Amino acid sequence: MTSSRTLAIALLLVLVAGPLTASAQGREMSTADRVAMLYAPQLNFTRDGDPLIRLGILEGRDSVEFTPTQPIRVMPHGEGGAEIHLPANTTYTVSITDSRAGEYKHWVVVDRVSVDKRARVDDVNRQWTQRGYIPESFEVGGLFAVHGQLFDSRVILVCVGGTATLAEANKIRAQLEARYGIAGAMHSERLKFPSGLLTLKGKGVDVTVQHRDVMWASAMPGKEETIAYTIPNIRKSYERGEETRRYTGSLIFAADRNGKVVVINSLGAEKVLKGVVPAEVYASAPENALQAQAIAARNEIFAAIGVRNLADPYMLRADVYDQVYGGIDVEHPRTSAAVEATRGEVMLYGTQIVNAVYSSNAAGFTENNENVWDAEPRPHLRGKLDTAAANLPAQFKGGVTEAKLEAFLASDFPAYSKDAPVGSAALYRWTRTVEAKTPIAWLKEAGHDIGRIKDVKVLSRGVSGRVIRFELKGEKSDAVIERELNVRRLFGGLRSGLFIVTFDRDKNGFVTNFHFRGGGFGHGVGMCQTGAVGMAAKGHSHKEILLHYYQGIGIRKLY
């Protein structure tokens, strides 16, 4: 221990004075190179051949703490550079000083165009120009090779805004979400890296390690998946407050966008999935449903590489903005077994990685993606009846029209999500009452004061019967709400846009309450998670489940 402390103290002078170089591809790698690599859309691999994923688990702090269960290596320059060996079961603090925020332009993503349909960008640009915006396009993602297998995450983002602050961009996003029903994603263009001096200290250990901009902490070689780091003050995923979680793999400390500390957990994709899948599906679900969910979640990881969080030093945020990763303590034997059974399997449409969206309960009919979000139609995300081919009710084969909606909600055909052995099957049909003040307030917040409501009208529905255009007639003006997602928001978060609505009036004829009879929970696009359970319970394999919900795709083992 004495020799380690001495080494660390001696290194301090070198590390503060300037970067220690390491040979890489025939040249020396600087700290600036190391930082740039954190932001680059590239894949590295674990010793077992799993792609390494960098998850942002905590940011916006002046200092953070972690306690490892095993001895660690602190590597200011990353693998191949100097190492400081420090003891286990010690609480270490990493703080940042002399920091500078990065510089960015912030854009609102209004559409995503496949790279093989780039000619469509001109049409999208023309549409948004006519709406009064100046669109800008960014080709993001990459063509990746994993053990000889190719997958393509490239996509063209059509954006508007280009604001200097995130607050300004969020204001534009809210306006566009309310008016046009866009999905509301953000793309931040990095102009200058953030920076700061990172300092690591250990409680009861006479050592200080400093380095600018980035610092790594890892277990000894070969122990990366057996070590556990306890980290307090992690924001809870679905409620307010903070909690303590445990992580494995390696930790990377860097400056976040605002010059604060960000903690990045670097670990293999399969280990990530073991902490993700339990938050997405009931662990008690049939084995094949768990396996289908594992593949869908794996797709979401790889579809994000080089596409999301390009202005951040991580690939994914470990929260509801990307994928909720709860650390090693949320792992469950049954979901972990599903991850292991499908190791490396992903869905591809040609070579394009499939955007594997899913919702809780599709109510017997899934929906086309462009009817929920103002976006390019995806051939693998087409709405369809959610039952076996032999059970397809003839009257709904062409879709659920306004005239057929009453019959559809009352129908008793054996939809996969209707009788699935899982709690979310209860959401197959539902009722709800909403006061008129709720949509009035939502429209006011969106900058549209229509006064009291005189009448309502469904203007159009998607293939599944979900509302995609809805009109409110008010005493001051009228409002048309575009897209299924906005209609749900209008009424305070309806379970889905698949509904019939009636209403009460006061003595002056103004609407006072809305009464909904509907079905399902969520947007209904892609895989119905409840239906996947229903299919698995009827003996369908995980591949049959995925091929049912994502049309025209192939399932391939990447690694």
Query: What is the structure's pLDDT at 297?
Result: 96
Full set of structural domains in the chain with CATH:
2-101+194-341 (no CATH), 103-192 (3.30.70), 427-518 (no CATH)
Q: At residue 157, does pLDDT exceed 50?
A: yes
pLDDT number for residue 183: 82
Output the CA angle 458-462-468, nearest 5 degrees.
Answer: 45
Helices then strands (H, E): number in the chain?
13, 32
pLDDT of residue 28: 58
| Rounded percentage of the chain residues whose pLDDT exceeds 90 | 80
User: Is the pLDDT reported for residue 27 higher than 70?
Assistant: no
**Residue 301: in which H helix or E strand, if any?**
helix 287-304
pLDDT tens digit string along 164-193? 999 999 999 988 988 888 888 999 999 999
Question: For residue 352, is pLDDT > 60?
Answer: yes
Q: Are 78 and 275 in contact (CB under 8 A)?
A: no
Question: Which residues neighbour 415 within 8 Å (Cβ) at sequence distance 6 or greater?
Answer: 363, 364, 385, 386, 387, 428, 531, 534
* Angle separating helix axes 529-537 and 542-549, nearest 10 degrees: 140
Give the pLDDT mean for 422-437: 96
Tokens of 524: 């209904």
Query: Span 62-72, mean pLDDT?
Result: 98
For the ranges 16-30, 204-218, 286-300, 473-487, the lowest mean pLDDT is seen at 16-30
Crossing angle of helices 333-341 and 269-280, in 10° steps, is 130
- Mean pLDDT score, 471-493: 94
Place of tokens 């255009």: 469
- Would you say residue 115 has pLDDT above 80? yes
pLDDT classification of 16: cutoffs 50, 70, 90: very low
pLDDT for 182 equals 86
Mean pLDDT of 369-393: 91
Q: pLDDT category, 4, cuts 50, 70, 90?
A: very low
Of the given ranges (46-50, 124-128, 548-552), which has the lowest mean pLDDT?
A: 46-50
Q: What are phi and psi of 172, to 5 degrees?
A: -65, -40
The residue-averaged pLDDT of 59-78 equals: 96
Mean pLDDT check: name the lowest of 290-294, 389-393, 496-500: 389-393
535 token code pair: 């299919």
pTM above 0.85, yes or no: yes
CA 301 to chain centre: 8
Q: What's the mean per-residue pLDDT of the chain?
A: 91
Q: Higher pLDDT residue, 505 or 482?
A: 505
Contacts of 18 (CB under 8 A, 6+ apart): none
For the ranges 18-32, 163-177, 219-233, 501-515, the lowest mean pLDDT is seen at 18-32
pLDDT of residue 13: 29
499-524: average pLDDT: 97
CA angle 232/203/38 to nearest 5° reads: 55
Average pLDDT of 218-233? 94
The predicted model gives 28-40 an average pLDDT of 84
Q: Is the pLDDT of residue 1 over 80?
A: no
Residue 149 has pLDDT above 90, yes or no: no
